[in-house]
């Protein structure tokens, strides 16, 4: 089936009791058992929930994966992935990931004996050099948050095959509408469903998708054992949202392309980073492994003073953390999403005080451009 058909139908069958077309919210913590040891396959809400199962099947289908395992947040999904390795194991991770991902790995899990190397994974030589005898997993964010650098998925898959490593891709920025890492042979895909997948800025959630039965078994075990599960209502809202994922992503992409061009032509903007611009260092890779460029733009306004003016003056864009909603958001990575990264590290990555991140929504693009134009005057 095509993407939109799967988005609307996959994982959802009319409710067997009433024929309700929309999967009900199974708002229950437990299930009546027919007799001791006899049940309908549902025992306890943390372990089984039909609304959650529908969501898991739906997003797995969009990623061309067999298994989806949903979590209460993107970070809970990432934590479950760290359960694929053990104390003493080494992980190679993209140096510029979401600040919370860095915090979880470097400031929490390092203390539990995991080793991390933060690598520019857009450079294959650097990935190869980072492999150690105890390396078990490569964790990729592409495009990265917020510098929008890309990693070649085919190359990562090749390295993982050679050294018998697990490959993981955070596909939050692209969504399966524009990028399907599993089709490149990547083992595990994850999302903060909080972002584009839900797309309405009203749910925090995460999901892990894989075709590998062993990885599925382990992550499923951890989902229940750790217990960071999403509520049935959140699953229902997210399931409702995936139905329009294709139309939303098309519009995010169209609007962002127009705004990236507008920003590029404005002399007050020092640098515009958008994978769909020809001057992006990974433009040709973007064309090869993505079918669109997404709705995220990062731009450097030179210094904090200039950035502050833009951040404080916009009216249609809302100043706030997060991204991927239908409404446009604007943020300051250095003091917001990436504040937990030490200043020196941050600046090495290019996350300077003058940097602004735009999450371009699906409003009328003329209004968005007028809003930025006004803020820049
Ligand atoms: O917020 P949560 O649902 O736990 O997801 C964490 C996460 C994981 N991966 C990526 C690429 C992300 O961008 C995020 C969360 N990011 C923001 C809140 C932000 O404003 O960038």
Shortest-distance Cα residue to atom 1 of ligand 1? 74
Shortest-distance Cα residue to atom 16 of ligand 1? 322
Q: Does domain 3-242 have CATH number 3.40.640.10?
A: yes
- The whole-number mean pLDDT for each consecutive block of 10 residues of the chain, a chain of 377 residues, reads 97 92 97 96 97 98 98 98 98 97 98 98 98 98 98 98 98 98 98 98 98 98 98 98 98 98 97 98 98 98 97 98 98 95 93 97 98 96
CA of 322 to the centre of ligand 1 (A): 7
Instruction: Please identify which of the residues 26, 67, 98, 196 carries the catalytic annotation.
Output: 98
Residue among 146, 174, 192, 319 whose CB has most ligand 1 atoms within 8 A, to mutate: 192
Q: Is 46 a catalytic residue?
A: yes
CA of 222 to the centre of ligand 1 (A): 21
Q: Is 371 a catalytic residue?
A: no
CA of 34 to the centre of ligand 1 (A): 42
Shortest-distance Cα residue to atom 21 of ligand 1? 322
Q: How far, in Å, CA of 339 to CA of 177, rounded? A: 30
Q: How far, in Å, CA of 291 to CA of 294, rounded? A: 9
Q: Is 98 a catalytic residue?
A: yes
Q: Is 287 a catalytic residue?
A: no
Q: DSSP state, 167? A: E
Report the predicted TM-score, pTM, of the whole model to 2 decimal places.
Answer: 0.98
Shortest-distance Cα residue to atom 20 of ligand 1? 322
Shortest-distance Cα residue to atom 19 of ligand 1? 322
> Measuring from each residue's beta carbon to the nearest atom of ligand 1, which residues come in under 6 Å?
73-75, 98, 100-101, 141, 145, 170, 172, 192, 194, 204, 206, 321-323, 337
Q: DSSP state, 29? A: S
Domain ranges of the chain: 3-242, 246-376
Q: Is 19 exposed, middle or buried (0-12, 13-18, 19+ CB in 10 A)?
A: exposed
- pLDDT of the residue at 61: 98
Nearest-atom index, ligand 1, CA of 204: 3
- pLDDT of the residue at 148: 98
CA-nearest of 79, 7, 56 to 226 is 79
What does the buried/exposed string (b/e) look like for 325-339 if buried means 16 or more CB atoms within 10 Å of the residue's CB?
A: bbebbbbbbbebbbe
Shortest-distance Cα residue to atom 3 of ligand 1? 74
- pLDDT of the residue at 13: 87
Residues 84 and 214: beta-carbon distance below 8 Å: no
Q: Does domain 246-376 have CATH number 3.90.1150.10?
A: yes
Q: Is 65 exposed, middle or buried (0-12, 13-18, 19+ CB in 10 A)?
A: buried
- pLDDT of the residue at 134: 98
Instruction: Please identify which of the residues 15, 31, 42, 46 carries the catalytic annotation.
Output: 46
């Amino acid at each position: 089936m095509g993407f939109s058909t799967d988005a609307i139908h996959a994982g959802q069958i009319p409710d067997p009791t009433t024929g309700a077309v929309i999967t009900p919210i199974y708002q229950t913590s437990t299930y009546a058992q027919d007799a001791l040891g006899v049940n309908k396959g549902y025992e306890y809400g943390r372990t089984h929930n039909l609304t959650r199962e529908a969501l898991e099947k739906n997003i797995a289908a969009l990623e061309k994966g067999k298994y989806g395992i949903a979590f209460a947040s993107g970070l809970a999904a990432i934590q479950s992935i760290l359960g694929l390795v053990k104390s003493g194991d080494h992980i190679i991770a993209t140096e510029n990931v979401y600040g919370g991902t860095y915090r979880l790995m470097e400031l929490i899990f390092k203390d539990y004996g995991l080793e991390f190397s933060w690598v520019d994974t857009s450079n294959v030589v650097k990935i190869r050099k980072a492999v150690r005898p105890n390396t078990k997993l490569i964790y990729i964010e592409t495009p990265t948050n917020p510098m929008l650098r890309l990693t070649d998925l085919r190359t990562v898959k090749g390295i993982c095959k050679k050294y018998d490593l697990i490959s993981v891709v955070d596909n939050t920025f692209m969504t399966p509408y524009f990028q399907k890492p599993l089709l490149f042979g990547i083992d595990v895909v994850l999302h903060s469903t909080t972002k584009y997948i839900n797309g309405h800025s009203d749910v925090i959630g995460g999901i892990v998708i894989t075709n590998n039965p062993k990885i599925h078994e382990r992550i499923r075990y951890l989902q229940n054992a750790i217990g960071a599960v999403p509520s049935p209502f959140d699953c229902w809202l997210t399931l409702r949202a995936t139905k329009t994922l294709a139309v939303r992503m098309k519009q995010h992409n169209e609007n962002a392309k127009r705004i990236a061009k507008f920003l590029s032509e404005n002399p007050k903007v020092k640098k515009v980073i958008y994978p769909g611009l020809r001057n992006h260092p990974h433009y040709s890779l973007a064309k090869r492994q993505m079918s669109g460029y997404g709705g995220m733009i990062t731009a450097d306004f030179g210094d904090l003073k200039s950035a502050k003016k833009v951040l404080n003056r916009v009216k249609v864009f809302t100043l706030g953390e997060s991204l991927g909603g239908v409404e446009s958001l604007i943020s300051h990575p250095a003091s917001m999403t990436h504040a937990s990264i030490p200043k020196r590290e941050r600046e090495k990555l290019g996350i300077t005080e003058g940097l602004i991140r735009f999450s371009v929504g699906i409003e009328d693009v003329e209004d968005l451009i007028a809003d930025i134009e006004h803020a820049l005057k």
